Amino acid sequence: MTGLILGTSAIHTPFKGGTLVPNLNWLFIFATDPTGEISFQTTLAGGPPSGTTLYSQFWIQDSAGPAGDSASNGLSVTAP
């Protein structure tokens, strides 16, 4: 299982031995395959308003990670 965290701001706070980058506005849980991979694509209907910045980060269960979890880098994207 993996969680995709999306937020409208960055908080850069310590979390489970790592750093949680986005503020937790939305959390989506996905099942991964046995190798921990996931693949999906989506389209935002109408898209966010121009200038909107969203921050995202994946967290995944990982027995070798600190506190049993590992995280991706935090990413941000700003709508044109």
| Mean pLDDT, 10 residues at a time, the chain of 80 residues | 95 96 96 87 81 96 92 95
Q: In the structure encoding, which two tokens stand for residue 65, read together?
A: 């990670």
| pLDDT at residue 57, rounded to an integer | 98
| pLDDT at residue 12, rounded to an integer | 98
Q: 32-70 burial string, b = 16+ CB within 10 Å, else e?
A: eeeeeeeeeeeeeeeeeeeeeebbbbbbbeeeeeeeebb
| pLDDT at residue 4, rounded to an integer | 95
| pLDDT at residue 38, rounded to an integer | 87
Structural contact between residues 15 and 29, judged by C-beta atoms closer than 8 angstroms: no
| pLDDT at residue 9, rounded to an integer | 97
Domain positions in the chain are: 2-35+50-78
What distance in Å separates the CA atoms of residue 23 and residue 35, rounded to the nearest whole number? Answer: 28
| pLDDT at residue 6, rounded to an integer | 96
